Structure 1
Amino acid sequence: MAIVLHAHLPYVHSSEPGSLEEDWYFQALLECYIPLLEVLEAAAADPAQRPRLSLGLSPTLLSLLGSAELGARFQPWLAVRLELLAQAHPSHAAAASAQAARLEATIAAWQSCGGDLLPRFRRLQQAGVLDLLTCAATHGYLPLLREFPEAVRGQLLTAVREHERLLGTRPQGIWLPECAYYEGLDRILTGAGLRYAILDAHGLLHGLPRPRFGVYAPIVSPGGMAFFGRDSGSTLPVWSARDGYPGQAAYREFHRDLGWDLPSSELVEHGIASPRPLGLKLHSVSGRDCPLEQKQPYEPKRAAAAAAADAGHYLAGRREQLEQLAGAMERRPLLVAPFDAELFGHWWYEGPRFLAELFRQAPAASVGLVSLRESLGGGQTLQLCQPSPSSWGQGGYHNYWLNETNAWIVPEWHRATAAMVARVNSGVASAQARDLLNQAARELLLAQSSDWSFILRAGTTTDLARERIHRHLNRFWRLLAAVDGRDTPPADWLAAVQREDGLFPLVNAADWASLPLRSPPAG
């Protein structure tokens, strides 16, 4: 079985201290990324275990993890939450004590590694525990960028370059944003040096020809890209709050947060202007249909016992599934279980403990864990198959990112990309113009983030999403005008833009140059 996690957040470095976007990042650090590292490191240190995990780290998330300026604000953020926990009701003493211990341990861990998590990811990859994948540079939804192959190539080449800069090795695997695929993407992927990716099940099952082994073995596309298919039997019990483990009564409730329960005056005293989620949750799920106001106090020991039991139940199900498949296949079956990494710890607080139990119990359960890269190294022949256009989003295709709420963005992307491609193709005369054009490339990439389309469709923080899209596009057009000599931005404006949106230091506007068309073969 291959467990695959995808860790991603939009770029929030430009935010002021205390912003909602900064909270997204710090809560993910506290609840997901740091616990995940701790689980993997502990499992790797135990000779009885053989932990394996494929993990996608998006380039925007890598930029955040590599930011010393943003990292310096994390410890004060933790300290504020420690102070607020002291205001919890006595009936939640056990949960508050456990949460305080987690915050204190995180502060100590952050100090011990100097606020730099990237070397820990690198060491786990070098040890063979992690298989680190990349993603499109800003999580651009590639099927909606396909009108200009240059836009897709710019997303991919920037991602590969940033991954190598921060993690020391060129990635071979990629988590396609939203697992979204369109015809011909495989050739652009291999052209960027990538070799394997994950699709939802119908991306393989609707392929031509239909794969002989379904989703239980990877296929290879005409462009030379290996694709793995998601196994719903291995994913549903873990991600579904309605039908799976996260909705069980003992686990920590996500939606009931101390930030909604404390008086506003208490929040203001600690520099928080209005009620908002703090990442401090002291209630249990208490039942799948239990109203928020009736949630019971969270009991950490009870939740830990449930995670151990659920991990055992999950592994037993996978062993039975593998045994049945092995009797019907001519090759060793592979179950691929992909998830958003933030499910483990942020949405499902006990998720990292569940993973720790999987690693601990897998040997006794006779379930072998393998990374995607490792699974391709066995010398087994892959069936040649053309994958089907698909995504893992609602509806299975592209409609969640192209509908009445967000379709207006697509022509804006196309207009900006057409101008970018034309400008790059015409050449750049000076180093100053090249710097401006590289910054325009950053703004275009940031405007293409699928996060904003998702937010518009979901109906949450839509003003923020619109503001980010317009901000990056407005900056793009002004920078392009400056390259052409039609505008001369004030020095302080340009410096502020380069400071706020200074990610991807190796970005190269030349990636948006049109490739020459190949001549058809003679005869």
Structure 2
Amino acid sequence: MTEPEPVPGLFTLVLHTHLPWLAHHGRWPVGEEWLYQSWSASYLPLMRVLRTLAAEDRGHLLTLGVTPVVAAQLDDPYCLQGMQHWLANWQLRALEAAHLRTVADPSPASAPEALRQFGSREYAHAERELADYETLWRHGASPLLRELLDGEVIELLGGPLAHPFQPLLNPRLREFALREGLADAQQRFVHTPRGIWAPECAYAPGMEADYAAAGVGHFMVDGPSLHGDTALGRPVAGSDVVAFGRDLQVSYRVWSPKSGYPGHAAYRDFHTYDHTTGLKPARVTGRNVPSEAKAPYDPQRAEAAVDGHVADFVDTVRQRLRAESARIGRPAHVVAAFDTELFGHWWYEGPLWLERVLRALPAAGVRVGTLSDAIAAGFVGAPVELPPSSWGSGKDWQVWSGEKVADLVTLNGEVVDAALSTVDKALASDAAPTPRNFVADQILREALLTVSSDWPFMVSKDSAADYARYRAHLHAHATREIAGALASGRHEQAQRLADGWNRADGLFGALDARRLPGA
């Protein structure tokens, strides 16, 4: 068998792992269920894929962004226990499906025999996930990720605490959130990320200076931020900080707002449930087929579709590398970037596709590496001035600053101003050194949760908008309540309030208000 002709350049796969803080804030339909679904369907399989490939002596596979708020939940004892309960419940629901004799749902996928076959397979799947979880995840995600980082299997991207939309954030809190986020990664993984996935890929001119000051050497933007010319990383303005753009031609081949592999008729349908067990036994079947008419899921049919889409993606990458290299007159860099949750949670077959594509690309003569590999190998072009941008609708800031969320923009500004002024006064002390102030810490923690970019995104997209507004106003109330007691000299009440809110919002235990930059 002849070796394939190598193609010029480098391919990088970037995954962005993010969910808001969900622990202690509702269960269903939005809340902890979202965390446990993503954990079981995406994070567990992704870790298995990476460990399997690492055991084959494969390295520098992909660049993995893990936001501090996700890392906090994957290490949190309450969430770890909740996840084990969720996996066991999944197994029980699969067992129920495997033994049903009559069903209330008349759809083909929920017919008794189809559901029994599906339940048997689902039970085995849940059993494997539960065994993996109990064996490997007992101490959370950090030890597993550290092993992959130590072995140079992946590159880690970090980010600011609580995932704020940085361009609209007070510069003091923006700097604090970023520095604390990088420190949080160092504590968990014993690796300080050199690169970040900026929340929502959002950029405002001048932010590269903040990144350089914090030790960040590269970050992600969407393709249109670079006017579609994503063939090389580009230093931003007069800095040494490199922006990498997502190649939309390649990325959209997998998933776009309108199309992509997960919509194939053979794949498991995300939106169709069996109402007795809560499982998803149907395949997509067809674009306009109603849920009650969808056909039963067929794993062999789905696996054949995966192989076809692996071959298609490899061919797409090869063609794109050749075309871009010819266009710029030197070997090009192609970056495909996605939310991690696409692989498994939204697209059930996604982890299998990932495993096979990460084997197939090198076998097809494509050099695979990380963003740091790209810099080290010189895939960096001329400096560029970036416009204000994001990866949201319109590629501007409208999702987070438009009319639909004008009230949240105002709320965020008022809450942050109140938090910063209260913390400044609380830490103004003649004592040296200033003692740590737990109340001030909790005020900043709640303020950061208030300004999470998830809430305006969910409102703008009308996706659980009521929950998003509730969460934004809940954390705003917490910030104001604690700050009001502290500002009026009711120190004991402020302490009690901070203690109470911390029981629900105790993430980022090392957050220290004394490190807040001066006014």
TM more than 0.5: yes
Corresponding residue for residue 442 of structure 1: 445
Corresponding residue for residue 209 of structure 1: none
Instruction: Report the Cα distance in structure 2 between the residues aligned to 1:18 and 1:459, rounded to whole angstroms.
Output: 17
Corresponding residue for residue 252 of structure 2: 236
User: Mapping of 1:91-240 within 5 angstroms?
Assistant: 91-113=114-136, 114=138, 116-145=140-169, 148-205=170-227, 214-221=229-236, 222-240=238-256
Instruction: Report the Cα distance in structure 2 between the residues aligned to 1:460 and 1:374, rounded to whole angstroms.
Output: 37
1:430-488: per-residue Cα shift (whole Å, max 9, x none)? 77882211110000000011111111122232232222112211111222233334434
Change (3 A) 1:350 1:171: same
Please state how far the C-alpha of 1:160 moved relative to its aligned partner: 0.9
1:72 partner SS: helix
Cα pair 2:268 2:281 within 8 Å, conserved: yes
Q: 1:58 aligns with which of 59, 62, 67?
A: 67
2:220 partner SS: strand
Change (3 A) 1:287 1:168: same
Cα pair 2:60 2:155 within 8 Å, conserved: no
1:117-136: per-residue Cα shift (whole Å, max 9, x none)? 22111111111111111122
Identity, in percent, stands at 31
Cα pair 2:42 2:341 within 8 Å, conserved: yes
Please state how far the C-alpha of 1:256 moved relative to its aligned partner: 0.5
User: Mapping of 1:300-339 within 5 angstroms?
Assistant: 300-339=299-338
Change (3 A) 1:506 1:248: same
Cα pair 2:447 2:475 within 8 Å, conserved: yes
Corresponding residue for residue 408 of structure 2: 409
Instruction: Report the Cα distance in structure 2 between the residues aligned to 1:381 and 1:303, rounded to whole angstroms.
Output: 39
Corresponding residue for residue 34 of structure 2: 24
Which amino acid is the alignment partner of residue 467 of structure 2?
L
1:499 aligns with 2:503: yes
Of stretches 393-402 and 236-245 in structure 1, the one that deviates more from structure 2 is 236-245
Corresponding residue for residue 373 of structure 2: 374
User: Mapping of 1:83-94 within 5 angstroms?
Assistant: 83-88=92-97, 89-94=112-117
Instruction: Report the Cα distance in structure 1 between the residues aligned to 2:518 and 2:227, rounded to whole angstroms.
Output: 34
Instruction: Report the Cα distance in structure 1 between the residues aligned to 2:495 and 2:258, rounded to whole angstroms.
Output: 54
1:253 aligns with 2:276: no
What RMSD in Å do the two structures reach over aligned CA positions?
2.1
1:397 aligns with 2:393: no
1:86 partner SS: helix
User: Mapping of 1:470-509 within 5 angstroms?
Assistant: 470-487=473-490, 488-489=492-493, 493-509=497-513
Aligned residue-pair number: 488
Cα pair 2:176 2:517 within 8 Å, conserved: no
1:33-66: per-residue Cα shift (whole Å, max 9, x none)? 010011111112124x556111110111010011
Instruction: Report the Cα distance in structure 2 between the residues aligned to 1:97 and 1:367, rounded to whole angstroms.
Output: 39
Instruction: Report the Cα distance in structure 1 between the residues aligned to 2:411 and 2:27, rounded to whole angstroms.
Output: 30
1:12 partner SS: coil
1:507 partner SS: coil
Cα pair 1:50 1:359 within 8 Å, conserved: no
Cα pair 1:56 1:175 within 8 Å, conserved: yes
Corresponding residue for residue 36 of structure 1: 46
Corresponding residue for residue 428 of structure 1: 428
Change (3 A) 1:476 1:490: closer
Which amino acid is the alignment partner of residue 140 of structure 2?
D
Please state how far the C-alpha of 1:511 moved relative to its aligned partner: 4.1
Please state how far the C-alpha of 1:425 moved relative to its aligned partner: 4.3
Corresponding residue for residue 351 of structure 2: 352
Change (3 A) 1:358 1:136: same
Please state how far the C-alpha of 1:104 moved relative to its aligned partner: 0.5
Please state how far the C-alpha of 1:364 moved relative to its aligned partner: 2.1
Change (3 A) 1:78 1:18: farther
Cα pair 1:242 1:288 within 8 Å, conserved: no
Instruction: Report the Cα distance in structure 1 between the residues aligned to 2:246 and 2:451, rounded to whole angstroms.
Output: 26
Corresponding residue for residue 4 of structure 1: 14
With the length of structure 2 as denominator, give the TM-score of the two structures.
Answer: 0.89
Please state how far the C-alpha of 1:354 moved relative to its aligned partner: 0.6
Please state how far the C-alpha of 1:361 moved relative to its aligned partner: 1.1
Change (3 A) 1:392 1:420: same
Which amino acid is the alignment partner of residue 11 of structure 1?
W
Please state how far the C-alpha of 1:97 moved relative to its aligned partner: 2.3
With the length of structure 1 as denominator, give the TM-score of the two structures.
Answer: 0.88
Unaligned runs of 5+ in 2: 1-10, 98-111
Instruction: Report the Cα distance in structure 2 between the residues aligned to 1:380 and 1:103, rounded to whole angstroms.
Output: 43
Change (3 A) 1:250 1:433: same
1:457 aligns with 2:470: no
Instruction: Report the Cα distance in structure 2 between the residues aligned to 1:240 and 1:325, rounded to whole angstroms.
Output: 21
Instruction: Report the Cα distance in structure 2 between the residues aligned to 1:163 and 1:493, rounded to whole angstroms.
Output: 28
Unaligned runs of 5+ in 1: 207-213, 268-277, 516-523
Please state how far the C-alpha of 1:178 moved relative to its aligned partner: 1.0
